[in-house]
A and B are shown apart, each in its own frame.
Chain A
Amino acid sequence: MTTYFNEMFQDGRVRAPYAGLEGWTNDMPADRRLAKQAEAEALFRRIGITFAVYGEGGDPDRLIPFDMFPRVFTGAEWARLEKGIKQRARALNAFLVDVYGRGEIVRAGLIPARLVYQNEAYEQAVSGFTPPKGVYSHIVGVDIVRTGPTDFYVLEDNCRTPSGVSYMLESREMMMRMFPDLFRENRIEPVDNYPEKLRRTLASVAPLKCEKDPTVVILTPGHFNSAYYEHSFLADLMGVELVEGQDLFVDGAFVYMRTTQGPKRVDVIYRRIDDAFIDPLCFRPDSMLGVPGLMDVYRSGGVSICSAPGAGVADDKAVYTYVPEMVRFYLGEEPILKNVPTWKCAQNDDLKYVTENLAELVVKEVHGSGGYGMLVGPKSTKAEIEEFRARIMADPSNYIAQPTLALSTTPTFVEEGIAPRHVDLRPYCLVGERIELVPGGLTRVALREGSLVVNSSQGGGVKDTWVLAE
């Protein structure tokens, strides 16, 4: 029987960071809790913070479940996490500059060339080009799980356009609105300066040809996209235009947006569309979302694109296993955050081990995301395991496997009252001229009893994440 680290209760006592919440929960009768929960849901729906799940039909304006019980870190715990996350963000960016440049890490034999240069996410189109300030990934979302008081593991890195930061901000907004007393009694670090920091980060990587205050825009695939709310939310808080591909056009060496006063030059594009759709002349010719000619302007230094095209090669699940090597190679430091031990099914020995131990392991597709296409061995039936085995054998290099981690739990409001549920954490590290991290992040919680899958598409919810001021 696996034991899970409970972040609030340890040996029958309340751990320090949660001390301020003990009285709060004891004093909350069920009817008040239900009333508050209903109030939160109504508020979320009214402000329109909904998300759509592709391909599932049903309500297109689905709410992500919000759990009112906060997840808490002490200042000391956070300080260590922050160091580890920033270290990782620096190493990942150094890796990207390297593999689109001289490829030292490959020459040194630390990463197989095939894994880098034949990677789907490797963009030949930007080979030899170094973006402003040497930054490829300007927002690094690092998914972290906890298994003990001091044990943190990185599950995966998101170097392209990690989403969910609006939930971090709205969850906090909601908690402050509904439970102002909690914020008076506990000293909780604010997160609401994130949009301002993001804007500063983006402005700091303006292209060399930009001589004035840079014009920053967010490029969205449009209002049918499941994360559209977040795109418009961030644009609003940063005070920048939210544009679609049709609003931009290339003329000569620059990119312009169509405005009621004629064309206006754009210097920095925070894009929330995939590489493949950015520029139909360079990537997918059938893309209606991008801007023809954008890549030429980008490569000649007329506009900055964040994250830089090609950044995805650093967050591939197969490249992930080499991140600790990157930290040592580029920074000369020991990694502060641990990687989860990973077996690559592409290698025969690993494949053998994986297929013999499927019932114990979590198996994921190398390019999968959103909790789809994965097997959680201990939670699966024999038939499911056998079906998955066949899929692995058909294409071994498409899979990696990891031990089933004993994800920590935090108290969560459930129908019967309060019960432990498994959580993970996604902080958002900003990389520009400086590296910054707001004290907090998105805590996702698996609301189904016993479930280890926190993805919103699979019954996951979100919580407010507190970092206590020292």
Chain B
Amino acid sequence: MLSRTADNLYWIARYMERAETAARLLEVGARISLLPTVGGYRNDWDSLLRASGNATGYAAKYGAPAQAQIESYLFFDRDNPNSVASCLTSARESGRIVRTALTTQVWDALNTAFQELRQIESARGVQELSRLTDWVMRHTAMVRGAIDATLLRNDGYNFLNLGYYLERGDSTARLMDVKYYVLLPRADYVGSGLDNDQWSMLLRAMSAHRAFHWAYGGEITSAKIADFLILNPQCPRSLITCVAGMNNHIGRLAKHYGQTTPAQAAAARMLSELERLTADAIFDEGLHEFLSRFIRETAGLGGVIHDSYLSGDMH
């Protein structure tokens, strides 16, 4: 497979997952802003921007956070490369470039999302935020479903999945980090009723609210949440699920090509560390510190994958 093709497949997945993350962030933000204030919604939206890595870009364009502008920045703004509109457009453009590596169904799903996006853009401001986020989830799920149902299980499929898992792990870590930023002003809220409300909202935003109760039951505690979203391989968005997914697909590539690269070792290393970790150890390190380190290491793995497969250099 052409390196450029693999690169585009990998980025289709990353952009689609990133669009979904932007939508989830919007949902968390909207729900947090409906709660009795912890210093007003202003701070909450601000923390959301910071956690998602969008704070600098937003501040440069708009200055102080305001809900309507943040919504527009995260959903519609083409100047923001992480907005839903930017991501869906980039994913479709990458899809157009590698049209031959996709099935009709996958292309159709990508293209339909893009065509509908254009309609939504032209009727901007009419739709409620919750409808928009639902719309994003629906289309990202359709693309994902088309990939799973119709695509050949070849190297391209592995590159797509690598993109998905890498981006998803990064996004789970960032969404959890929102929590850190929200609570930053008042550490003594930890363990209070308010604290639990916020955790439960986070679960909702990851569509994991019910799953969590099935898996753990009883009170929502930060330890259980950390265990669920970081260490539980049953949770589809947990960090360990994502790293195991990357490890699996990188392993399949090595098998497919009959050749290993530094990417295999890097993924295996990340997975074995997570497998040995406990929730207590994470809180000892500090949740925010742990998540920041995870985000850094994921980016590092992305770099190794790029050098090994996507740059087209000899190896």
B4 and A232 within 8 A (CB):
no
Output the least CB separation between A257 and chain B (Å): 6
Q: Which of A228, A235, A241, A246 contacts B96 (CB 8 A)?
A: A228
Q: Which of A46, A47, A223, A258 contacts B3 (CB 8 A)?
A: A258
B112 and A247 within 8 A (CB):
no
Contacts of B56 on A, CB cut-off 8 Å? none
Separation of A235 and B100 alpha carbons in the complex (Å): 7
B153 located at the interface, meaning its Cβ lies under 8 Å from any Cβ of chain A in the complex = no
B104 and A47 within 8 A (CB):
yes
B314 and A260 within 8 A (CB):
no
Separation of A259 and B311 alpha carbons in the complex (Å): 9
Q: Which of A46, A223, A257, A258 contacts B111 (CB 8 A)?
A: A46
B6 and A260 within 8 A (CB):
yes
**Contact flags (1/0) for B1-13 with A, using CB distance below 8 Å?**
1111110000000
A149 located at the interface, meaning its Cβ lies under 8 Å from any Cβ of chain B in the complex = no
B93 and A262 within 8 A (CB):
no
B131 located at the interface, meaning its Cβ lies under 8 Å from any Cβ of chain A in the complex = no
Output the least CB separation between B251 and chain A (Å): 15
A45 located at the interface, meaning its Cβ lies under 8 Å from any Cβ of chain B in the complex = yes
Q: Which of A223, A233, A257 contacts B2 (CB 8 A)?
A: A257
Output the least CB separation between B6 and chain A (Å): 5
Separation of A47 and B97 alpha carbons in the complex (Å): 14
Contacts of B107 on A, CB cut-off 8 Å? 47-48
**Contact flags (1/0) for A200-229 with B, using CB distance below 8 Å?**
000000000000000000000011000011
B314 and A263 within 8 A (CB):
yes
B3 and A247 within 8 A (CB):
yes
A244 located at the interface, meaning its Cβ lies under 8 Å from any Cβ of chain B in the complex = yes
Known contacts A48-B111, A236-B99, A261-B259, A247 near B93 by CB under 8 Å: no
Separation of A6 and B134 alpha carbons in the complex (Å): 55
A258 and B4 within 8 A (CB):
yes
A259 and B2 within 8 A (CB):
yes
A144 located at the interface, meaning its Cβ lies under 8 Å from any Cβ of chain B in the complex = no
Known contacts A45-B115, A46-B111, A47-B104, A259 near B99 by CB under 8 Å: no
Contacts of B100 on A, CB cut-off 8 Å? 232, 235-236, 242
**Chain B: interface residue count, which band?**
20 to 34
Separation of A235 and B259 alpha carbons in the complex (Å): 28
B108 located at the interface, meaning its Cβ lies under 8 Å from any Cβ of chain A in the complex = yes
A260 and B96 within 8 A (CB):
no
Q: Which of A45, A233, A246, A260 contacts B155 (CB 8 A)?
A: A260
Give the one of B3, B107, B310 with max A CB within 10 A.
B3
**Contact flags (1/0) for A41-72 with B, using CB distance below 8 Å?**
00001111000000000000000000000000
Contacts of A358 on B, CB cut-off 8 Å? none
Q: Specify the chain B residue showing the minimal Cβ separation from A257.
A: B2
Separation of A257 and B155 alpha carbons in the complex (Å): 17
The DSSP consensus for interface residues of chain A is: mixed
B2 and A247 within 8 A (CB):
yes
A243 located at the interface, meaning its Cβ lies under 8 Å from any Cβ of chain B in the complex = yes
B96 and A48 within 8 A (CB):
yes
Q: Which of A260-279 contact B (CB under 8 A)?
A: 260-263
Give the one of A48, A243, A260, A263 with max B CB within 10 A.
A260
A223 and B93 within 8 A (CB):
yes
Output the least CB separation between B253 and chain A (Å): 8
**Contact flags (1/0) for B81-105 with A, using CB distance below 8 Å?**
0000000000001001101100010
A260 and B115 within 8 A (CB):
no
Q: Specify the chain A residue showing the minimal Cβ separation from B315.
A: A262
B309 located at the interface, meaning its Cβ lies under 8 Å from any Cβ of chain A in the complex = yes
Output the least CB separation between A38 and chain B (Å): 15
Separation of A228 and B313 alpha carbons in the complex (Å): 26
**Contact flags (1/0) for A238-262 with B, using CB distance below 8 Å?**
0001111011000000000111111
B99 and A260 within 8 A (CB):
no
Give the one of A48, A232, A236, A243 with max B CB within 10 A.
A48
Contacts of B155 on A, CB cut-off 8 Å? 260
A261 and B257 within 8 A (CB):
yes
Contacts of B1 on A, CB cut-off 8 Å? 259-261
Q: Specify the chain B residue showing the minimal Cβ separation from A236.
A: B100
Separation of A30 and B159 alpha carbons in the complex (Å): 49
Separation of A236 and B107 alpha carbons in the complex (Å): 13
**Contact flags (1/0) for B192-231 with A, using CB distance below 8 Å?**
0000000000000000000000000000000000000000
Contacts of B259 on A, CB cut-off 8 Å? 261
Output the least CB separation between A22 and chain B (Å): 35
Q: Specify the chain A residue showing the minimal Cβ separation from B6.
A: A260
Contacts of B313 on A, CB cut-off 8 Å? 258
Separation of A287 and B107 alpha carbons in the complex (Å): 31
Separation of A206 and B250 alpha carbons in the complex (Å): 36
B312 located at the interface, meaning its Cβ lies under 8 Å from any Cβ of chain A in the complex = yes
Contacts of A258 on B, CB cut-off 8 Å? 2-4, 312-313
Give the one of B4, B104, B257 with max A CB within 10 A.
B4
Separation of A69 and B309 alpha carbons in the complex (Å): 49
Please give the residue numbers on chain B whose beta carbons come within 8 Å of chain A beta carbons, in ascending order: 1-6, 93, 96-97, 99-100, 104, 107-108, 111-112, 115, 155, 159, 253, 257, 259, 309-310, 312-315
Q: What 7 A-B pairs are tightest by C-beta distance, nearest first?
A: A258-B312, A236-B100, A232-B99, A258-B3, A260-B309, A223-B97, A260-B6
Given known contacts A236-B99, A257-B2, A261-B257, what 13 new A-B pairs fall within 8 Å (CB)?
A45-B115, A46-B108, A47-B108, A48-B107, A229-B99, A235-B100, A236-B100, A246-B4, A247-B4, A258-B3, A260-B155, A261-B1, A262-B315
Q: List 21 A-B contacts (CB under 8 A).
A: A46-B108, A46-B111, A48-B96, A48-B107, A223-B96, A223-B97, A232-B96, A232-B100, A235-B100, A246-B4, A247-B3, A247-B312, A257-B2, A258-B2, A258-B4, A258-B312, A258-B313, A260-B159, A261-B257, A262-B314, A262-B315
